[in-house]
Amino acid sequence: MKKIASIALALFFTLGFAASASADTGLNQGHQLTYVTDNAGLLTASDKSTLESQLAAVSAKYNFLSVIVTVKEKDSREAKLYAADFYDENTFPMAKTDGAILLLSMQDRDFGFATTGWGQDAFDQDSQDDLDDAMLPYLRQDQWAAGFEAYTRQLDTELGDYRQGKATGKVLIVIVAVVVGVGIGFLVSWRFKAQLKSVKPDEYARAYVKQGSFFLSASTDSFLYRNVSAVPIPQNEGKSSSGGFSSSSGGSFSGHSGKF
pLDDT of residue 243: 78
pLDDT of residue 135: 98
Positions of the chain with pLDDT under 50: 1-26
pLDDT of residue 229: 74
Fold of 29-164+246-259: Diaminopimelate Epimerase; Chain A, domain 1 (3.10.310)
**Per residue in 150-171, pLDDT tens?**
999 999 999 999 999 855 655 6
pLDDT of residue 183: 57
pLDDT of residue 186: 60
Cβ(105)–Cβ(111) below 8 Å: yes
pLDDT of residue 196: 63
> What are the residue ranges spanned by the domains of the chain?
29-164+246-259
